[in-house]
């Protein structure tokens, strides 16, 4: 699901998206985009698509991941990278906490695209298991590729 300020809008806190997650529990949803990823922090600014600085614990994404096992998230675009790297310690803990539900490159990826998240993931100190889940195994599971 793509949420931004132009298309596929939702209320602050992704309340509409939460209704979909609750109603369609047998469907798997992959969230991404600026207005999805800014919910990594509690009280995200509503007028900024790509917030910077420390993440305030208690963001809606942790709550949604906790309550809806049908939610996954993609890290490949700039919004996922920005959310994880704006507060590296929080980002690393988030990656470890949700390693079974995060994935890379289900949004878009082209040959010439810079993907700084890959370097971050390689250097972050993730376990081999977490790195492999995030970079390919979760997508293989969700899309039944293996």
* Angstrom distance (rounded) from CA 9 to CA 64: 17
Write down the pTM of the prediction. 0.90
Q: Where are the domains of the chain?
A: 15-142
Place domain 15-142 in its CATH homologous superfamily.
Answer: Metal-dependent hydrolases (3.20.20.140)
Q: Are 43 and 55 in contact (CB under 8 A)?
A: no
pLDDT in tens, 59-96: 999 999 999 999 999 998 889 999 999 999 999 999 99
The ranges of the chain with pLDDT < 70 are 1-10, 106-109
């Amino acid at each position: 699901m793509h949420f931004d300020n132009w298309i596929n809008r939702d209320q602050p806190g992704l309340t509409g998206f939460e209704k979909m997650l609750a109603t369609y529990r047998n469907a798997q949803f992959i969230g991404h985009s600026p207005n999805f990823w800014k919910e990594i922090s509690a009280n995200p600014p509503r007028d900024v698509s790509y917030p910077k600085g420390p993440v305030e614990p208690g963001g809606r994404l942790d709550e949604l991941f906790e309550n809806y096992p049908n939610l996954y998230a993609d890290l490949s675009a700039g919004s996922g990278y920005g959310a994880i790297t704006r507060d590296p310690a929080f980002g690393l803990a988030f990656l470890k906490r949700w390693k079974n539900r995060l994935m890379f490159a289900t949004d878009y990826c082209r040959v010439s695209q810079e993907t700084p998240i890959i370097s971050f993931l390689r250097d972050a100190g993730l376990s081999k298991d977490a790195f492999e889940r995030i970079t390919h195994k979760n997508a293989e599971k969700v899309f039944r590729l293996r």
